[in-house]
Structure 1
């Protein structure tokens, strides 16, 4: 089987941001409360004329350049998102056009915060099957447009941003060494956007009730996230035949500092080897892990030959993990 790994990375972060101090003017909260409960200090927010496909395209082009490739080399574009430019066509179709990947197929994946992990697992399988040579996997979100800015339980958590990787064949022994993905739709209403789909059409009532915004039962989500992120990490390590000591860096989904700390404690993984940027960006949903991969490599915290452990949990519920040797 062909070994598939990361050839290049990229990220795109909006310039504008909202601090915790600013949120104190909007809802009943404080900077101290937000930081102590979530680890977040600020979150970046896209301009009104800046779209999901714009962020995704910027991240994708940087990843393609860093891989030493051209857009025409790309055979497939996958965009993981829950905040697409429009319900259809796929945001990936728009990105494919914007980056000039004229030889590529394209589609979106909606697995919420797990979407990027799902994307690289799908991309790996298609490269291994020799359907495509190079795949651009992107996680991109403009969550700020799905928020009720009067709901302190959700508006303090999320931010906008995109990250991307180029996947392709790598030397044997490198690349994706294990992958694990699961879901359970029983709890789909614990973290969701109730209206806007075919089950609850837009109406005056849905708008007045803020049903087009993110709704979350925080305590229940927290418990499930800790449990399944820990389980996912263990399963991925087991499949790869590795232990915590072999991992240079864990890159978890940046959902909440307390979730990450609790999951790390559960598997006895040292926090000094856990990558964190939630203080800067908040929860960028599908963008979280690819942005973190890009920053970890750019900062030198992970380099060629290192094993990294990706771990995620998202709405659905969806969860998973993967071990990659860079």
Structure 2
């Protein structure tokens, strides 16, 4: 490694956390017009984890951060980046308190907001901090308490979204070593922001001086249009990231896609020609955990042995904004 031009962000630790509370499909059918068969056939979800009253996103983030730091072998970082859609408060950012609780007070700390693509946007940001020489080690956490913004009576979202956190530690290293993060392909389309949104609570609604209309404080998603755009954008970004890495799609050993729902995962994998045995998935047991989805998936897959050193991994996600992204890396040997 010679000078900053040769610096790359290398994954050296990973950790995930889900809160202990579990909601089954049967629990949901008791209050919603739905069934276990309907939920499974449309989402692939059987259970999901939810926070207890009084628990916040920062609590999830701290747990995942502790596990990632332990996995890396060193409880230190020069910067903490938190990807989340559900910060503890609108102001200040949640990352500084997470850093302080992890014993990293004094480190640079800030939030990144890109909804379900937050981890990949955070990964690009953390990689930039390392490439520029601003940081030698970055703790990147993605955490969401999505159930705090979901309408419990909305069948379209209440059956899908859940709570959780995942984290990775990145260190400065060489672009050619295992764990080095490849080029991150990112994109957005604000003209379609209405497909995934929380209408109330921001300056647009507050500046009117009028109270929010009933239900506008909750997360909304237009499922059919979101499905179509998610499949298109994730597929295109994945192909670009694989090409940038100098791989063919046949070289991909593991696809780690944002766990949005089973139908999207299947459609993307089919378009990329990646068979089921090379697809990582945990959506059946954790649901859609927003920004936390990919790092939580990586942590659980590594712990289970489904993700091993040397595997060529393709990461891809799509979320509100609209925003999407993909990147690649060769999985390193980690203590999980």
Shorter-chain TM-score: which interval? over 0.9
Q: How many Å separate the matches in 2 of 1:25 and 1:302? A: 37
**Counterpart Cα distance in 2 of 1:190 and 1:256:** 16
Q: Is 1:170 aligned to residue 173 of structure 2?
A: yes
Q: 2:161 aligns to what?
A: 158
Give the equivalent residue in structure 2 for 1:128: 131
Q: Cα distance, 1:26 vs. partner?
A: 1.3
Check if 1:289 corresponds to 2:294. yes
Contact between 2:187 and 2:323, CA under 8 Å: does it hold in 1? Answer: yes
SS at 1:103's partner residue?
coil
Gaps of 5+ in 1: none
In structure 2, distance between residues paired with 1:155 and 1:301: 29
- Match for residue 42 of structure 1 among 41, 47, 66: 47
1:87 maps to which residue?
90
Is 1:251 the counterpart of 2:245? The answer is no
Q: Which residue matches 1:200?
A: 205
Contact 2:195 2:226 in 1 (8 A): yes
Kindly indicate whether the alpha-carbon contact (under 8 Å) linking 1:178 and 1:324 is maintained by their aligned counterparts in 2: no
Secondary structure at 1:87 match in 2: coil
8 A Cα contact 1:177 1:325, kept in partner: no
Cα deviation digits, residues 19-72 of structure 1 (max 9, x gap) = 1111111111001000000001111000112111011011111111110112xx
**Match of 1:177, SS?**
coil
Of residues 261, 264, 274, the one that matches 2:266 is 261
Write the mapping of 1:27-66 to structure 2, written as runs, cut at 5 A: 27-66=32-71
1:109-157 CA-partner distances (Å, limit 9, x unpaired): 0000000011111111111111101001111000011011111011111
SS where residue 21 of structure 1 aligns?
helix
Query: Which of 68, 75, 88 is the equivalent residue of 2:73?
Result: 68
Take 2:169 and 2:149, find their aligned partners in 1: how far apart are those partners?
28
Is 1:191 the counterpart of 2:161? The answer is: no
Residue 205 of structure 1 deviates from its aligned partner by 4.9
- Whether the 8 Å contact between 1:195 and 1:212 is mirrored in structure 2 is yes
What CA distance in whole angstroms lies between the structure 1 residues aligned with 2:291 and 2:43?
18
* 1:179 counterpart = 2:169: no
Q: How much is the aligned-residue C-alpha RMSD, in angstroms?
A: 1.4
The Cα of 1:232 is off from its aligned counterpart by 0.9
1:300 partnered with 2:280:
no
Point out the more displaced range, 225-234 or 97-106: 97-106
1:149 counterpart = 2:129: no
- Unmatched tracts of structure 2, length 5 or more: 1-5, 332-336
Instruction: State whether structure 2 residue 80 is matched by structure 1 residue 77.
Output: yes
Q: CA deviation at 1:297?
A: 1.4
| Matching residue of 1:322 | 327
CA distance in 2, matches of 1:27, 1:309: 36
State the 1:201 CA deviation: 2.5
- Other-structure match for 1:137: 140
Q: Which residue of the partner structure matches residue 104 of structure 2?
A: 101
Rounded to whole Å, the distance in 2 between the matches of 1:220 and 1:209 is: 24
For residue 306 of structure 1, report the CA deviation from its aligned partner.
2.0
Given the two structures, how large is their TM-score scaled by the length of structure 2?
Answer: 0.93
SS at structure 2 position matched to 1:260: helix
1:209: Cα distance to partner? 1.5
For 2:203 and 2:210, how far apart are their aligned partners in 1? 16
* 8 A contact 1:5–1:325 mirrored in 2: no
Which residue in 1 is equivalent to 2:117? 114
CA positional deviation for 1:304: 2.2
| Residue 244 of structure 1: how far off its partner (Å) | 2.2
Describe the SS at the equivalent of 1:74. coil
Post-superposition CA distance 1:156-187 (Å, at most 9, x none): 11000000000012354131123200001000
Write out per-residue CA displacement over residues 60-92 of structure 1, whole angstroms, 9 at most, x where no aligned residue.
11111110112xx31000000001100011110
Distance 2:300 2:174 in 1: 23
